[in-house]
Amino acid sequence: MDSGPDLSVYFLIIFYPVAGLLIIEVICRVTKRANWIKLLTQAVMCVGFGIAYLTIQAAHWLTAFVLLALAAALFYQAKVSKLNPEKALY
């Protein structure tokens, strides 16, 4: 009797994007990159994971939607940060 995917699979699906965001954050802080570059890189990574989660065999629609919504917010924040760094929230 197949009970479906393990809980560890769902944990990894959530863990990978979070780890990616944190790794990009650390690298950009260590290399002292501009804030908008960090935000843009994080947004592109979220879009990549969102598309990947929509195209895998057992699509994870909700996780993909959340990642794509986060990407939209990150793209917006990157634009604000590039145009006027003083208005950036962080």
Tell me which amino acid residue 64 is.
A
Express each pLDDT in 73-83 by its tens digit: 999 999 988 88
Can you tell me the distance from the alpha carbon of 15 to that of 25, in angstroms, rounded to the nearest whole number?
A: 15
Whole-structure pTM value:
0.85
Cite the beta strand spans of the chain per DSSP E.
Answer: none
Q: What is the mean pLDDT of residues 52-68?
A: 87
- Judged on CB neighbours under 10 Å (0-12, 13-18, 19+), 18 is exposed
- Closest Cα partner for 24 from 38, 36, 35, 11? 38
Express each pLDDT in 1-54 by its tens digit: 455 567 787 888 889 999 999 999 999 999 999 899 999 999 999 999 999 989
Higher pLDDT, 13 or 89: 13
Query: Can you give the pLDDT at residue 8?
Result: 81
Contact predicate 63/53, CB 8 Å: yes
